[in-house]
């Protein structure tokens, strides 16, 4: 069987297209930290390749014959939550079975079973790691995965038991322990049974360093997809690769999921003699976004967390004056993979930029009664003035009730418009979104293939919408908005451009909020809409 793009679970070199996992981590630094008997953290967002890298690291260390390294995934202990006894017993059993599986060590399982009935839960993990290390003929290295999946007192107990044995290393405790999860250990905020909140840093103050597993680089993305061509002889149109990079930013699951969508879910393209075109890529991208698969669903679920809300709502609205973003919140959301901090604070990639507003407005989209056909001309162009006039009426009738039920009220008008547009554009066109933090605007680019059969190879109608919220005088807001709209329109080389001004002052009547005018600015003819 030929190799394939892996979109579920750890990658295996014999089955999957893969970038060398040891190449993706700073192996020299990790080996140096282990040699120094350090305890440290490796973290990355979900489905970035942590487990694949940790397994590869375990095998690498064991092949070097200097250490006895063991990978252990303790996620199953999450269900114990605040039940410390159950949680610690589960972790002990998982460690024992992992030793049997990976190291062929048959001593740990019976020892754990023998000791469990009378074990003191408060130090059983300490005792277990002492036993494992002392009966080993080499220094031990423990790679603990999914640590931050644990909850409350179970997590606190585990961290404190590791800390308790730290001074005994390497003779009677692991020489090095790597904690792996989504976040750095300093960001674990743990609620105890008594409702007290403590940070894991206080329970694990022996951390020497925190390493992050980054996304794939652009060259690694090209290499990964190039492996498919090498394996099967099937070529990709080279125009795909710049779009793939902008859409994913190298996020490994997205890169693999798009590859799998193209090369397997698209049954026509299973014929390896067919060259995969940019049009095929756009279709796969839209299918993936609409699929709301587990990765994307988990991503959307995070949007309801308080820390995530404070950052994402500010990015969506573009307003830094009326909201304060805490640095800890920014770091937490970056650790989740939702945003990037450099070169500027922004949503991580184009697919996430599209998924986030879709998820936040999903129930609104499916209940909007407007139909695409109402806003198409006889030549199948979008009649944008007609569409925006209809949205003004829709916004007046629904804004107050609907925005009140949005989780993200700060960006409510922008999200409501995007829900309306998504309903009309559907899967026949594309809406690209850019959120201008500090610019107090949202840029939307609509791309609409006029001929459905020709798709994006034929005539494409391109429309820019600039969304701004009225904070100062109307004249100043319009002037600044015109400047931004023209700048964005020039970048995108569009057919028409519209500036939308949302007035959120509850004391202003709808008669004063709703208006429209035509404006010429720097030789550009634009429509300006009040909402």
- The DSSP result for 136-205, as a single string, is -SS-EEEEEESGGGS-HHHHHHHHHHHHHHGGGTTTSS-SEEEEEESS-GGG-EEE-TTS-EEEHHHH-T
C-beta separation of 486 from 521 below 8 A: yes
Kindly report, residue by residue over 410-460, the tens digit of the pLDDT.
Answer: 888 999 999 999 989 877 899 998 887 666 778 999 999 999 888 888 999
pLDDT of 218 above 80: yes
User: What pLDDT shows up at residue 374?
Assistant: 93
Please provide the average confidence, as pLDDT, over all residues in the chain.
90
> Which of the listed ranges 186-200, 254-268, 343-357 does the model predict with the highest average pLDDT?
254-268
pLDDT confidence band for 198 (50 / 70 / 90) = low
Q: What is the mean pLDDT of residues 225-230?
A: 98
Centre a 10 Å sphere on the Cβ of residue 155 and count the other Cβ atoms it contains. Answer: 27
User: What is the arithmetic mean of pLDDT over 346-357?
Assistant: 91
Nearest to 93, CA basis, from 74, 118, 70: 74
Question: Is 215 within 8 Å of 253 (Cβ atoms)?
Answer: no
Nearest to 34 by CA among 144, 176, 211: 176
The angle at the Cα of 222, spanning 221 to 223, to the nearest 5 degrees, equals 90
Q: Mapped to the 3 state alphabet, what secondary structure does 92-122 carry?
A: HHHHHHHHHHHHCCCCHHHHHHHHHCCCCHH
The confidence score (pLDDT) of residue 472 equals 80
Q: Which CATH class is domain 21-212?
A: alpha beta
Give the DSSP letter string of 513-528: H-EEEEEEETTEEEEE
pLDDT exceeds cutoff 70 at 39: yes
Distance CA 268, CA 287 (A): 15
**Over the stretch 184-195, which tens digit does the pLDDT of each residue have?**
776 665 555 555
* Phi, psi (degrees; rounded to nearest 5) at 111: -65, -45
Q: Is the pLDDT of residue 34 over 90?
A: yes
Classify residue 378 by burial, with Cβ atoms within 10 Å: 0-12, 13-18, 19+. Answer: exposed
Bridge partners (DSSP) listed for residue 234: none
Whether the predicted pLDDT of 320 surpasses 90: no
Give dist(CA 218, CA 124) in Å, integer. Answer: 46
pLDDT of 148 reads 87
| Ordered alpha helix ranges (H), 305-461 | 306-317, 327-335, 350-360, 362-367, 384-404, 412-425
Place of tokens 């030789």: 523
| DSSP state at residue 494 | -
Which DSSP helix (H) or strand (E) runs through 445?
strand 441-449
**What's the per-residue H, E or C state across 83-100?**
CHHHHHHHHHHHHHHHHH
**In the sheet where 496-502 sits, what is the strand order?**
430-436, 441-449, 460-469, 496-502, 524-530, 515-521
Q: Which residue has 């949302």 as its token pair?
A: 502
Report DSSP state, residue 438: T
Q: Residue 322's pLDDT band (boundaries 50, 70, 90)?
A: low
281-308 pLDDT, tens digit per residue, is: 999 998 998 887 767 777 778 888 888 9
The answer to whether 322 touches 310, Cβ cutoff 8 Å, is no
pLDDT tens for residues 477-497? Answer: 999 999 999 999 999 989 899
Task: Tell me: pLDDT of 225 over 80.
Answer: yes
pLDDT attached to residue 3: 97
Tokens of 180: 């792996």
CA–chain centroid gap for 256, Å, is: 14
The ranges assigned to domains in the chain are: 21-212, 218-291, 295-530
CA distance 316 to 303: 12
Matching residue, tokens 């290499």: 223
| Residue 467 neighbours by CB under 8 Å, 6+ apart | 413, 414, 417, 441, 442, 443, 444, 500, 502
Average pLDDT score over residue span 111-139: 92
Residues 414 and 442 sit within 8 Å (Cβ to Cβ): yes
Tell me the per-residue pLDDT of 61-87, one tens digit each, with 9 for 90 and over.
999 999 999 999 999 999 888 889 999
- Asked whether 313 and 322 are in contact (CB, 8 A), the reply is no
H/E run at residue 474: helix 474-492
CA distance 188 to 390: 47
CA distance 497 to 526: 5
Q: Residue 358 pLDDT > 70, yes or no?
A: yes
- Is the separation of the CB atoms in 379 and 501 below 8 Å? no
Determine the Cα–Cα distance for residues 417 and 399; give it in Å rounded to an integer.
10
Torsion of CA 139, 143, 147, 152, to 10 degrees: -10
Region 86-98 average pLDDT: 96
């Amino acid at each position: 069987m030929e190799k394939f793009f892996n979109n579920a679970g750890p990658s295996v070199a014999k089955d999957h297209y893969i970038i060398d996992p040891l190449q993706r981590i700073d192996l020299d630094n990790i080996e140096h930290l282990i040699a120094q008997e350090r305890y440290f953290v490796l973290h990355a967002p979900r489905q970035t390749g942590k487990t694949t890298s940790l397994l590869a690291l375990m095998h690498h260390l064991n092949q070097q014959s200097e250490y006895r390294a063991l990978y252990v995934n303790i996620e199953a202990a999450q269900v114990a939550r605040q039940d410390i006894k159950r949680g610690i017993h589960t972790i002990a059993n998982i460690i024992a079975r992992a030793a049997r599986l990976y190291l062929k060590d048959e001593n740990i399982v019976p020892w754990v079973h023998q000791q469990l009935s009378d074990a003191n839960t408060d130090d059983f993990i300490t005792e277990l790691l002492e036993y494992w290390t002392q009966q080993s003929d080499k220094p031990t290295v423990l790679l603990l995965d999914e640590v931050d999946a644990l909850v409350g007192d179970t997590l606190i107990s585990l961290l404190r038991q590791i800390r308790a044995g730290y001074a005994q290393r390497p003779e009677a405790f692991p020489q090095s322990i790597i904690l792996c999860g989504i976040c750095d250990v300093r960001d674990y905020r743990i609620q105890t049974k008594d409702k007290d909140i403590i940070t894991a840093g206080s329970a694990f103050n022996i951390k020497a360093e925190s390493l992050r597993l980054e996304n794939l680089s652009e060259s690694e993305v090209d290499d990964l997809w190039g492996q498919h061509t090498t394996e099967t002889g099937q070529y990709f149109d080279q125009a795909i690769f710049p779009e793939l990079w902008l859409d994913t930013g190298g996020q490994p699951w997205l890169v693999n999921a798009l590859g799998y969508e193209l090369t397997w879910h698209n049954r026509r393209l299973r014929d390896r003699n067919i060259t995969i075109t940019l049009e095929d890529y756009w279709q796969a991208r839209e299918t993936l976004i609409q699929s709301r698969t587990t990765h994307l669903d988990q991503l959307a679920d995070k949007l309801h967390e308080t820390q995530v809300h404070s950052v994402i709502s500010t990015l969506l609205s573009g307003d830094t004056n009326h909201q304060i973003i805490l640095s800890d919140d920014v770091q937490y959301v970056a650790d989740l993979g939702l945003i990037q901090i450099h070169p500027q604070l922004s949503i991580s990639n184009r697919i996430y930029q599209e998924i986030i507003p879709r998820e936040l407005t999903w129930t609104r989209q499916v209940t909007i009664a407007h139909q695409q056909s109402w806003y198409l001309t006889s030549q199948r162009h979008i009649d944008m003035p007609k569409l925006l006039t209809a949205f003004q009426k829709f916004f007046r009738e629904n804004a107050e009730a609907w925005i009140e039920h949005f989780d993200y009220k700060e960006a409510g008008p922008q999200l409501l418009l995007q829900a309306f547009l998504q309903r009309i554009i559907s899967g026949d066109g594309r809406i690209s979104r850019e959120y201008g933090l500090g610019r107090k605007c949202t840029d939307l680019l609509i791309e609409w293939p006029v001929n459905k059969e020709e798709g994006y190879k034929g005539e494409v109608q391109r429309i820019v919408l600039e969304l701004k919220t009225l904070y100062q005088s109307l004249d100043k807001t319009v002037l600044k908005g015109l400047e931004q709209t023209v700048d964005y329109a020039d970048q995108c080389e569009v057919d028409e451009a519209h500036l939308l001004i949302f007035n959120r002052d509850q004391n202003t009547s709808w008669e004063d909020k709703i208006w429209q005018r035509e404006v010429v600015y720097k030789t550009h003819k634009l429509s300006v809409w009040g909402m």
